[in-house]
Structure 1
Amino acid sequence: MSFPENRLTLRSSADLATAVPYLIGFHPSDGSIVVIACRDRRIVFAARGDLPAPGTPAHHLRELTAHLVPVVQRQQPITDLAIVGYGAQGHVDPALRVIGDAFTATGLAVRELLRVTEKRIFSLTCDDAACCPPQGTPVDPTTSLVAVHATVAGLVARPDRAAVAGRFTTVDSTRDGIRHATTEATARMTAVETAGSTAVYEVGVLAVRRALRQHDDGIGLSDDEVAWLTVLLTHQPVRDLAVDLTQPHDQHVTFWAEVTRRADEPLVPAPATVLALTAWRCGDGVLAAMAAERALQVDPDYQLAALLLQALHAGLPPSVFEHATTSTHPSPFSPNPNTPSEQE
């Protein structure tokens, strides 16, 4: 199997398990379940969820399965699936079989059921002791060629979800400077608004272009520049322009993560949503979902972040993001394949 764009080839169950953290962006913890959808031996989609805790009523697992199945089905055409669970045998194996049976019942071929326990991989679908020994197959992501090739290909596997959030989480030690700069930027914005919304937009065009150009040139933004940019982003046409001007590559993901991290708390939703959209377009569903959640944490009514999170949870592709910027459509998303996603 290969990642999209032929970046990496997987030849065994051990390779597949090693690749999972690079598919979802971080190393799954025990209790995680990852469903990997393939098309002609090419990975096209990965969704992660949390298994119900041991001893939880059975309907909780059925509810998780009922959510995962339609999400994966939307990625058609799919030729087969691999499902990987993390944790103890007694907890993971029964859940793997229930989820595998649910997908099989829909007509989807489940090629692999794998459990990862303490750096060993166990197959529930292979009885050949030569390739899948009962004691499991050791896997060490730090020495695996798959990990090396994934890193060279630009794929990143962070230690956990907290490390992903750390890219855009506010740092308290920077608060005083940015608060003072934001107060001044707000007063400046009030003066610009007296000239009308067109004036605000024109100033916003200059600020967004300048900020992205500075970042592309390796020049960081000052507190005053971050504050002015985030104040301007509260004007929806400026925010939408920022989305249009941002390119789907890691450099601009890093830019918006930094702006979100440094923004004064009330102004976080706009840059966090631009970050989410950019990460989504880059195929990083985990970062996209977490950034959208951050926007909604500050402002639960921030519509674009809510629509984006809806799309991510439904397993929809970034090709619908153009529609998401049209706030007059209450639910603009429609099924289409080919985006990594995290299901919470």
Structure 2
Amino acid sequence: MTIRLRLRGDADLLAFLPYHLGYHPTDSVVLVAMHGNRMGLTARFDLTDDPVAMARLTAEVAAPLAREEPEGVVLVAYEDEPGSSDAVLGVLQPAIRDAGIEQIAVMVVRDGAWEARHCTDPRCCAQEPQPIPSAADSPAVAELVGMGVSPLRTRADLRAFVALDPRASAPVEQALKARSVAWAGEAFGLPPDPDPTAVTAHRMRALHAWATVLDSSEDAPDLTAEEVVAAVHALRDVDVRDGVIAWMCPGSLPFEHLKPDLVDLLVTLLPVPVWAVHDQRSAETPDAVARDREALMAARRLEQRLAALCRAVPDRLCAGVLTVLASYAWWEGSGALAREAVERALQHQPDYRLAVLTEKMIDFAVRPGRAPFQDPSTVRTHLSAG
């Protein structure tokens, strides 16, 4: 989630990074593109000395940085053994300069402490390893902790966050058996009768199901097995799936690219995406900061809700819901979560086209568009005028 941050310097950035990534990184280099004190593109690379892998790093870095045009780049190396990050850092730094970026800061984290590389000015960087600030000592992190945000311990924990949970999926399997007869004969999630009225009724039911999923309120009840099944079934209609993603992730897919009658149903049936109402370009007023906080908490609750949905869905049917989660996570800037979600989707359905496309977007760091959410009446008026 991108919000206004009050990062006081390198140490604050290091304290914040695990919260931004969603887990505590190890044995890797994290690249952060900086626009002033705002974080942009963030990418993580495993430590390696394999020549083929390191040659690939150059291609993976050049194009995304050229698109983003940051003012500078921060490289944070997490290593257990002294010097184990040198090979990757040695490849990344010239690749960044080749992209036209001269301002590069390098920090190395080891044993809970950090040090700056290539900086000999004590007014800028400490000349001895320094402890990474605790949450209480970092205002940006303390604010997140106060809102209940915490990173997972490892990347493996992030993988488990979207993996199948047999206990959650068992009642879903039973609900699927009960619904299978009713679904017989449907193609692409639509009723066999092509009558527009029947299609509209079908899509209304589908979006009612997703209105329940997208309830990001603090007291939203957990999804029942029947609600999970309804949400999975709804995504068999790719127009509904694309509409849900467009609604969840404003700017990623303009409403003009959707059918007007579907947009009308989205506006009527789905809850306002509270997680997307903030605008980082607006002035930093108390009201704007409060909206940021509300959006952050809504985004966190929605992420938890989507992940719980994915854990409850059997592998043979998981591609749709996982791709929705991956699309949302990538739009939000949670690349690691997006990667884990799309990998599980493709493991069980390699030809799911939107998952394939999403994976390519992640591979090449092609970020979806992002825009503040428009008032529903504005959406209707704009489409009617068009």
TM-score relative to the length of structure 2: 0.72
Paired residue secondary structure (1:301)? coil
Q: Report the 3-state secondary structure (helix = DSSP H, G, I; strand = E; otherwise coil) of the residue aligned with 2:68.
A: coil
Task: Note the C-alpha offset of 1:297.
Answer: 1.2
Q: Which residues of 2 match residues 122-271 of structure 1 at below 5 A?
A: 122-129=115-122, 132-145=125-138, 146-152=140-146, 156-190=150-184, 193-196=191-194, 199=198, 202-213=201-212, 216=215, 218-246=220-248, 247=273, 248=276, 249-271=299-321
Taking the aligned partners of 1:245 and 1:60, their CA distance within structure 2 comes to 38
Q: What is the Cα deviation at residue 113 of structure 1?
A: 0.8
- Offset at 1:129? 4.6
Change (3 A) 1:175 1:82: closer
Q: 1:137 to 1:74 in 2, by over 3 A?
A: same
Distance across 2 between alignment mates of 1:168 and 1:219:
19
Residues 34-63 of structure 1: CA deviation (Å, up to 9, x unaligned): 1111123422221111121xxx34343232
2:74 to 79, 82, 97: 82
Q: Flag the 1:83–1:233 CA change in 2: closer, same or farther, 3 A.
A: same
Letter aligned with residue 159 of structure 2: A
Does 2:110 match 1:110?
no
Q: Give ranges in structure 2 of 5+ residues lacking alignment.
A: 249-272, 277-298, 372-386
> What CA deviation, in whole Å up to 9, does each residue of 1:253-300 have, x standing for no partner?
333222211112211111111111122222222212221111111100
The alignment partner of 2:222 has SS state of coil
| Match 1:37 to one of 27, 33, 40 | 33
Provide the rounded CA distance (Å) in 1 between the counterparts of 2:349 and 2:312.
17
Residue matched to 1:60:
53
| Distance of 1:254 and 1:179 partners within structure 2 | 21
Choose which of 269, 273, 278 in structure 1 pairs with 2:323: 273
2-side partners of 1:153 and 1:37: how far apart? 26
What does the per-residue CA deviation read over 1:278-328, in whole Å, with 9 as the maximum and x for residues that have no partner? 22222222212221111111100000011011112211222189xxxxxxx
Q: Any conservation in 2 of the 1:182–1:228 contact (CA below 8 Å)?
A: no
* Structure 2 Cα separation of the partners of residues 49 and 95 of structure 1: 8
Q: CA RMSD in A?
A: 2.7
Conserved 8 A contact 1:272-1:292 = yes
In structure 2, how many angstroms separate the alpha carbons of the residues matched to 1:235 and 1:244? 14
The secondary structure found in structure 2 opposite 1:10 is coil
- Taking the aligned partners of 1:40 and 1:132, their CA distance within structure 2 comes to 18
User: CA offsets, 1:146-204, max 9 Å, x none?
Assistant: 42134347764222222223332211123432212112222111266343485366324
Partner of 1:119: 112
SS at match of 1:296: helix
Q: Is the 8 A contact 1:34 1:47 kept in 2?
A: yes
Q: State the AA in 2 paired with 1:221.
A: L
Which residue number in structure 1 is paired with residue 346 of structure 2? 296
Distance 1:4 1:178 in 2: 34
Determine if contact 1:205/1:238 at 8 Å carries over to the other structure.
no
- Are 2:23 and 1:26 equivalent residues in the alignment? yes
For structure 1, the residue ranges without an aligned partner over 5 or more in a row are: 322-344
Residue 118 and residue 81 in structure 1: after superposition, are their counterparts in 2 closer, same or farther (change >3 A)? same
CA contact (8 A) 1:84 1:114 kept: yes
Aligned AA (1:58): P
